[in-house]
Amino acid sequence: MKYLCEGSEILEGKSRGFECEGVAMLAVRRDGQVFIYKNRCPHRGVALEWLPDQFLDSSASLIQCATHGALFLIEDGECIAGPCEGKSLTAVACREDAQGVWISPPPAD
């Protein structure tokens, strides 16, 4: 696994963008757990954020694609509304320990 960041860099209920080995990713912490996905909408293959580190909807309960408003569950990346409904974001394997957040970077597209 590859070191991504300190755990404190991903705040509860917030999102953050990262790049590792040429792969753009987003991380969200919910209920103390970190979830990481490739920053790529399954509908058009575009980046999800509308501003740096802004991947969540106004309620901070779903990941939202800025391009067409698709909504994804934080816990598993499944699209629940929008043109890619039924598809999912690509999860990035991760774990967190006292040293920080570690990932298994997926291959670049």
Q: Is residue 57 part of a domain?
A: yes
Q: CATH number of the domain at 20, please.
A: 2.102.10.10
Q: Is residue 109 part of a domain?
A: no
Would you say the C-alpha torsion 54, 58, 64, 65 has a positive or negative sign?
negative
What is the span of the domain harbouring residue 43?
Answer: 2-103
- Kindly list the averaged pLDDT for each block of 10 residues, start to end, along the chain of length 109: 96 96 95 97 91 95 95 97 94 96 85
* pLDDT reported for residue 50: 86
Domain count, the chain: 1
Amino acid type, 19: E
Q: Is residue 87 part of a domain?
A: yes
3-state secondary structure labels for all residues of 3-57: EEECHHHCCECCEEEEEECCEEEEEEEECCEEEEEECCCCCCCCCCCCCCCCCEC
Q: Is residue 108 part of a domain?
A: no
CA distance linking residue 86 with residue 106, whole number of Å: 22
Q: Is residue 8 part of a domain?
A: yes
The structure's pTM equals: 0.94
* pLDDT reported for residue 106: 78
